[in-house]
Amino acid sequence: MPNPIFILNGPNLNRLGVREPEIYGAETLDDIRAACADRAMAFGFNIEFRQTNHEGQLVDWVQEAADAAAALVINPAAYGHTSVALHDALKLVDAPIVEVHLSNPAARESFRRRNYVTRVADGTVSGFGATSYVLGVEAACRFAMKRSD
Ligand code: DQA
């Protein structure tokens, strides 16, 4: 088996399903985990799927991904808009980085327009609900396979 695709989730995403479903959809994070596992498996990858509400924990996991991931899919949630520490950690990752968002932050409040992750991601998928993750995982797998050619 190749290295896994790391899928890291930031704050409040553990509340998906009950958190503002009109914005973030009805799926829970467990539903999203299952959809990501299926998509990755179709390309021959396992996933390492995690969520935390803590910025330092996310930084630690990004560092772990730098050593052990075939690719990194990250929904930084609110830390994308605030965290230089997360930005700096992502710069340590050589593997492909795909940023995902359930909603389309660019079409929301102005404070969501600044994003410290977008600058270091290879690409971003936003606005498609849980499908953003599935598309993001597919992009991550394709990029990871290209890298190992
Ligand atoms: C989010 C968008 C962010 O602006 C917000 O802070 C989140 C979720 C999304 O997936 O749409 O928590 O990352």
Mind listing the pLDDT tens digit for each residue in 90-142? 999 999 999 999 999 999 989 999 999 999 999 999 999 999 999 999 999 99
Q: Is the CB of 102 under 6 A from ligand 1?
A: yes
Q: What are phi and psi of 124, to 5 degrees?
A: -135, 140
Query: How many other C-beta atoms lie within 10 A of the C-beta of residue 21?
Result: 11
pLDDT per residue over 61-91, tens digit each? 999 999 999 999 999 999 999 999 999 999 9
Residue 149 has pLDDT above 80, yes or no: no
Q: Is the CB of 74 under 6 A from ligand 1?
A: no
pTM: 0.96
Tokens of 75: 């929904």
Please give the Cα distance from 29 to 15 (Å, whole number). 8
| Catalytic residue flag (residue 101) | yes
The catalytically annotated residue of 87, 101, 116, 133 is 101
Residues 6 or more apart in contact with residue 29 via CB below 8 angstroms:
9, 13, 14, 16, 17, 51
What pLDDT, on a 0 to 100 scale, did the predictor assign at position 40?
Answer: 98
| Catalytic residue flag (residue 24) | yes
Q: Is the CB of 50 under 6 A from ligand 1?
A: no
Assigned fold of 5-148:
Rossmann fold (3.40.50)
What pLDDT, on a 0 to 100 scale, did the predictor assign at position 125?
Answer: 98
Query: Could you tell me how far CA 104 lies from the centroid of its own chain?
Result: 14
Q: Is the CB of 19 under 6 A from ligand 1?
A: no
What pLDDT, on a 0 to 100 scale, did the predictor assign at position 1?
Answer: 81
